[in-house]
Amino acid sequence: MPRTDYASSRPLVLSVLADGKPKSCRDVEVATRLNRSQVYGALALCWRRDLVLRTKEPIFEHERIFKGRGGLTQTTRPYHLYLLKPEGMNSAVVNGYRFVGYDKKYLDDRGGGEVSKAQRILGLLQENKDKAFYSKDVAETLKEYGIKARDIMSNVRRFEKKGLIYVRGYKTDSRQTPFKKGYLITWIDQEKPRREAIKEAIDRTDAVLKGRLAGSPLMERVHRIRDLVIEHTQLRKLASFSYLENDLNCGHYKVEHALKRTLQLYPDLKEVKLFNIYRYYYHTSLAEEDLKAALEMKKNYLRIAKGRDNRIGHNWEAAAEWFIDEFTTGAKFWAQNHRGGGMDSRRITLHLIKGVGGRRNTAEVDRVWEVTPGIFAPPITYVLSCKWGLVTKKHVDDFLDVLTWSKEFGVDTPESRDLKQGVVGVFSASAFNPKENVQFKDGSTISLAQYTARRRLQLLTASAFNEKLREKGCPKSVTVQKICKRARDEEEVRETLDNIWKQPEKGEEIIKDLSEKNEEVYQFEKMLEETVESPTSLSSYNI
């Protein structure tokens, strides 16, 4: 369009800006009903002739555009705001944005600057033909020129379409996603045969990825699981689920998904359950006699190790019960007589109307107590579940499912199954897994402890119990965890806490005496563990 058309549009554009409010090119288009080219040209002319001020920096806005059958597209739109120039002022600040008069230094790179952002990005890759860069590293290198992370891939994709740049990310069946530090990008030599140039580009990205994830995260986990199982098989051992979970170092459900996929893809890997609970994995190349020996070894180890865990776990239940009893006025604990008499009478068996987590008809909770707030108020029933060790989301969800589907505490509602009125779940844990977060559909993420509280569960933690001991006057070295590990049984936990509460200044001495008293228990547990790990000594101890 001729320049004179911009001049004829200028009075109309200035009249829209006369109210003194900042407006974008689009706002002016709507108000004047001029086309975009006329409005943009007129605003640029007004800015150059010192009639309006423009924002110093471009504003970036995320847009979602509906394109009919094409669906929704998303883009980041940069734009400027314009303001009628106040008399005698060459700059202004409105609504947090700085407006400036025309100067060549304020020109955008793509609108008159000396070197554009796209040219700088392409230049860096071309000057370093023998290297591959993550997109975040490119942004960091060029940040002194005002280039940000969002500028990189929008330009790189254009160069990729022209065949100038090779881009690499996680490749799945249907798409490609970035690595943790962004996409890997490198120059494609235009002077070499295409096939050779692309191979060299791939080799450069391989060198950067050496020792890191190079494919789909799921497939990387699948391959890692297979390698670990084969490694254990070569050593004539079984790989436990907990070992695989610790090695992969990711969320519980991601490990479960990867294991399921591994067993589907590699039928030569097998799973075996010991005591119908503990999962182990091996390769079919393991000889039958070696498999039998390995299974027997693991059974012996589980009998011993889990026996120790049960002792500490039950001690943790007693500790939680002691603090509840001490600090809850009018708490009345439920009690049940169990067959055999080996189970604490305060552990309660619930009846399920639907199976939960492998349980068919019944499930146990650690404690149940009632509190009556007032003479006219209905009693509140608290149900406790204790977990020693790291707590995962699976433990929290499982506890709530047990309460919801139990005859004692669940109720049918028009929408779904829910807890009865006046029933409160209490989860007592020594520690929550700090690596596990919970992500929702809207993209928000919260910690596991926050998730537990959001599920209407009250939390009792070891740190909270220890804080009560500090308030009583116990030294920091006296902790609930130490008491649980050193006590022989639940009764001894209660006795120890009673003694420490009466004489907090002697807490360290009381725990030391407890350790010396039960030294033979620890030595026996340690001896059995060493025995199980040593096949040659099994017969000696008749385990």
Q: Any idea what DSSP says for residue 109? A: G
3-state secondary structure (DSSP) of residue 423: strand
**Given this model, what pLDDT does residue 540 score?**
29
Q: Bridge-partner residues for 269, per DSSP?
A: 283
Class of domain 305-532: alpha beta
d(CA 334, CA 350): 12
Which of these ranges, 34-43, 50-59, 340-349, 532-541, has the smallest mean pLDDT? 532-541
3-state secondary structure (DSSP) of residue 63: strand
Instruction: Give Cα 21 to chain centroid, integer Å.
Output: 44
d(CA 193, CA 315): 72
Examine the pLDDT at 457 and tell me if it is beyond 50: yes
**Cβ-contact 331, 370 below 8 angstroms:** yes
Q: At what angle do helices 519-533 and 507-517 cross, to 10 degrees?
A: 50
- The better pLDDT of the pair 71, 460 is held by 460
Give the residue among 284, 286, 299, 292 at the shortest CA–CA distance from 236.
286
Place of tokens 């002691």: 322
**Given this model, what pLDDT does residue 288 score?**
92
**CATH number, domain 117-209:** 1.10.10.10
Percentage of the residues of the chain whose pLDDT score is greater than 90: 32
Examine the pLDDT at 309 and tell me if it is beyond 80: no
Q: How far apart are the first and last CA of the chain?
A: 95
**Given this model, what pLDDT does residue 24 score?**
92
**Cβ-contact 472, 442 below 8 angstroms:** no
Judge if 217-286 and 305-532 fold alike in CATH terms. no
What's the whole-number mean pLDDT along residues 354-377?
A: 85
3-state secondary structure (DSSP) of residue 58: coil
What's the whole-number mean pLDDT along residues 118-138?
A: 91
**Given this model, what pLDDT does residue 7 score?**
62
Q: Any idea what DSSP says for residue 86? A: P
Which of these ranges, 361-375, 382-396, 436-450, 492-506, has the smallest mean pLDDT? 436-450
Examine the pLDDT at 305 and tell me if it is beyond 70: no
Where residue 146 falls among pLDDT bands split at 50, 70, 90? confident
Residues 220, 224, 227, 229, CA torsion sign: negative
What's the whole-number mean pLDDT along residues 512-525?
A: 77
Which tokens go with 44?
Answer: 């640029």
Examine the pLDDT at 529 and tell me if it is beyond 60: no
Decide if domain 3-106 falls under CATH 3.30.70: no
**Given this model, what pLDDT does residue 204 score?**
92
**Given this model, what pLDDT does residue 533 score?**
45
Q: Please, what is the average pLDDT of the chain?
A: 83
**Given this model, what pLDDT does residue 451 score?**
84
Examine the pLDDT at 532 and tell me if it is beyond 50: no
Where residue 387 falls among pLDDT bands split at 50, 70, 90? confident
**Given this model, what pLDDT does residue 196 score?**
92
Percentage of the residues of the chain whose pLDDT score is greater than 70: 89
Residues in the chain: 543
- The better pLDDT of the pair 264, 300 is held by 264
**Cβ-contact 93, 99 below 8 angstroms:** yes
- The better pLDDT of the pair 435, 166 is held by 166
Examine the pLDDT at 526 and tell me if it is beyond 80: no
What's the whole-number mean pLDDT along residues 33-37?
A: 87
Q: Where are the domains of the chain?
A: 3-106, 117-209, 217-286, 305-532
What single letter denotes the amino acid at residue 397?
D
328-349 residue pLDDT tens: 888 898 998 877 666 778 889 9
What's the whole-number mean pLDDT along residues 93-113?
A: 78
**CATH number, domain 217-286:** 1.10.10
- The better pLDDT of the pair 147, 215 is held by 147
Which of these ranges, 102-106, 251-255, 352-356, 361-365, has the smallest mean pLDDT? 251-255
**Given this model, what pLDDT does residue 1 score?**
39
Instruction: Give Cα 182 to chain centroid, integer Å.
Output: 19
- Alpha carbons within 13 angstroms on the beta-carbon side of residue 323 total 19
Examine the pLDDT at 324 and tell me if it is beyond 60: yes
156-171 residue pLDDT tens: 999 999 999 999 987 7
Which of these ranges, 107-111, 305-309, 362-366, has the smallest mean pLDDT? 107-111
3-state secondary structure (DSSP) of residue 306: helix
Examine the pLDDT at 70 and tell me if it is beyond 80: no
Query: pTM for the whole thing?
Result: 0.46
| Nearest-5° Cα angle at 39, 33 to 42 | 135
